[in-house]
Amino acid sequence: MTFGEKLRVLRKSKELTLKELSSRLGVDKSYISQLEHSKGVPSERFIKKLSKLFGIDESEWAILAGKIPKEIREIFYENPVTAPIVVKEEMAIYRRKPAGGPPKSIEPIFQTKLGKLYNADCMDLLRSLSDNSVDCIFADPPFNLGKDYGNKVNDKLEKYDYLGWCYAWLEECCRVLKPKGSLFVYNLPKWNIHIASFLDKFLTFRHWISVDIKFTLPIPKRLYPSHYSMLYFVKGPLPKTFHPPRLPMETCRHCGGEIKDYGGYKDKMNPSGINLTDVWIDIPPVRHAKFKTRGANELSMKLLDRVVDIATDEGDLVLDPFGGAGTTYIVSEIKGRRWVGSEIENCRPILDRFKRLEEQEKILQNSRKDLNRLFTQESLKLRKRFGHSTDKYRTLDHSPNGNPSQVSFFDHIKG
């Protein structure tokens, strides 16, 4: 842990804003903010003031500020024997006491055989869950872009207040995640760089998945933003479950011809499709009024379907702290996963969506029709029409209606 991280953790644990700490120390807010988020070295005077305010030994701060040789610090923080103890202490410092004592008791407003939905702050839901109890977590929080979600959500926080809020619910996520369980965090790259660094202290990094954005607006004096980031971490060295689906190869949408040249390897290619990579270009935005059930933030079921496929087995428990239009819950329900979630604002869109579960299943099934095959049905038709042979490839014998390995998810719900 750097000096800045320790400082921020301590400030949060005392529930002080940057402004409050700056006035108590008589030090400029931007100086503290820079220290908190950089590897900058504080002045002796600053260390003295801090020690006086928090009653912590000056030498402890000095060590963190790099006043003692780096090698000695590393022995302490990076030694596999002492590091877990240090990390545990840090987590304990960070765990802010819930206002008003023990976790609030909350009741679900909706439940199915598989899941429970709470109209609540995710911190209340998270605090009510036991340690190591959830198999997979997917979190798509507000991105702090100033959107209007309702009266209970402030989506225009100061940078470090937003991050501090994220760290608080993320820390709870790390606690409730089972060993070998997976955590996915969907956010803008500018937030996920900080979030990844925070999570790296508690979990094992697996992937930064770039999810291609189809339609965005250019930002003046910046590169055109064209991906969302989805972090994928696991508790412990390896996940319990890892079943990435295979995708069809990319082909020209006009003639079905290959986009990449597979040269002499055509007959070696897996007939079940191409390996999933960490760049996902096939996730559509939810724009069509027929599919859209809420505001502009609803994610495609295809994204959640893939996450659930990768990291869970039937019967596993999936948690999503930020319900929105309930995409995670709907997908989990259809796929026979148990689920639990919270939405602090209006839950009506989620409840309405559950009334249309059969229709939602059809949309999901349709988005899966080309999984685990080398050519999409559409591209096979085009290839035939435009004379692109598939003879050199090994292909599976697919039924005309879709993927043979596909099962009807709905069976278990009917029962």
Ligand X SMILES: C[S@@+](CC[C@H](N)C(=O)[O-])C[C@H]1O[C@@H](n2cnc3c(N)ncnc32)[C@H](O)[C@@H]1O
Interface residues toward ligand X, by CB under 6 A:
121-122, 140-142, 149, 153, 294, 297-299, 321-322, 324-327, 342-345
Take residue 10 and report the two structure tokens written for it. Answer: 């301590």
Across the beta sheet with 204-212, what order do the strands follow?
A: 110-111, 115-118, 338-342, 317-320, 134-139, 177-187, 227-234, 204-212, 279-280
Q: Which tokens go with 281? A: 């270009």
* Beta carbon nearer to ligand X, 38 or 111: 111
The maximal CA–CA distance of the chain, rounded, in angstroms, is 80
Beta strands 204-212 and 279-280, pairing class: parallel
CB of 146 to ligand X, least distance (A): 13
Residue 336 Cβ vs ligand X, minimum distance, rounded to whole Å: 20
Min dist CB 173 to ligand X, Å, is 12
Select from 137, 107, 123, 185 the least CA-distant residue to 332.
137
Q: Quote the least distance from Cβ 321 to ligand X, whole Å.
A: 6
| 22/297 with CB nearer ligand X | 297
All residues at 6 or more sequence positions from 415 whose CB lies less than 8 Å from its CB, including other chains: none
Calpha distance 109→165 (Å, rounded): 25
The whole-angstrom separation of Cα 245 and Cα 307 is 10
Q: CB 359 → ligand X: shortest distance, Å? A: 16
**Min dist. Cβ of residue 57 to ligand X (A):** 36
> What's the closest the beta carbon of residue 199 comes to ligand X, in angstroms?
18
Nearer to ligand X, 185 or 325 (CB): 325
Task: Compute the least distance from the CB of residue 5 to ligand X, in Å.
Answer: 23
Number of Cβ within 10 Å of residue 66's Cβ equals: 15
CB 202 within 8 A of CB 181: no
Comparing CB distances to ligand X, the nearer of 297 and 390 is 297
Torsion angle in degrees (nearest 10) through CA of 40, 43, 48, 49: -80
Q: Residue 151 or 389: which CB sits closer to ligand X?
A: 151
**Considering the complex, what minimum distance in angstroms separates the CB of residue 304 from ligand X?**
7
Residues 6+ apart with CB under 8 A from 180: 234, 235, 236, 238, 239, 240
- Pick between residue 94 and residue 329 the one whose CB is nearest to ligand X: 329
Q: How far is the CB of 347 from ligand X (least distance, A)?
A: 9
CA distances from 74 to 1, 67, 69, 82 (A): 10, 13, 9, 10
Q: Which residue is nearest to ligand X (CB)?
A: 324
Q: Cβ closer to ligand X: 47 or 340?
A: 340
Torsion of CA 400, 405, 410, 414, to 10 degrees: 110
Residue 3 or 138 having the CB closest to ligand X: 138
Q: Which is nearer to ligand X, 4 or 142 (CB)?
A: 142
Q: Which is nearer to ligand X, 135 or 140 (CB)?
A: 140
